[in-house]
């Protein structure tokens, strides 16, 4: 039986799930969420995402990363940003104990993706 979840934790869960659904990539290393520099007016920055992951006790790193220019601006330089990475640990990506009792995060994320399709 799980206990009640604090409102700020529940809000962080909602923000993270929507960010994962909208703009994350799942690869062999784990989960990656890229944010362009100075995107804060329109969407959560890497620091905002990191704060939510800290609240949810999810280990992560934030690194500088570059992306190719958009198709409409092919002659421009690479776009600079930051990537929030949630790495797999021993081939399993497991969340902290705050909200899902250590359920395999890969299974939970797959279920979220199936439900939103």
Q: Which residue has the tokens 């529940």?
A: 10
The span from the CA of 82 to the CA of 45, in Å, is 8
- When pLDDT is averaged across residues 32-47 and rounded to a whole number, the result is 85
Annotated domain spans of the chain: 7-116
Query: Does the structure show a pLDDT above 80 at 71?
Result: no
Of 10-24, 28-42, 67-81, 89-103, the one with minimum mean pLDDT is 89-103
Cα-Cα-Cα-Cα torsion 107, 25, 37, 116, nearest 10 degrees, comes to: -60
Angle made by CA atoms 21, 86, 69, in degrees to the nearest 5: 65
């Amino acid at each position: 039986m799980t206990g009640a979840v604090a409102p700020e934790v529940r809000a962080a869960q909602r923000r993270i799930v929507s960010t994962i659904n909208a703009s994350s990539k799942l690869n062999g290393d784990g989960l990656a969420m890229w944010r362009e520099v100075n995107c804060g007016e329109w969407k959560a920055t890497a620091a905002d995402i990191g704060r939510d992951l800290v609240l949810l006790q999810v280990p992560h790193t934030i690194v500088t990363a570059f992306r190719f220019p958009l198709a409409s601006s092919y002659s421009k330089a690479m776009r600079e940003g930051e990537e929030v990475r949630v790495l797999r640990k021993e081939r399993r990506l497991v969340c902290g104990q705050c909200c899902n009792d250590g359920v395999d995060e890969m299974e939970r994320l797959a279920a979220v993706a199936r439900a939103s399709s």
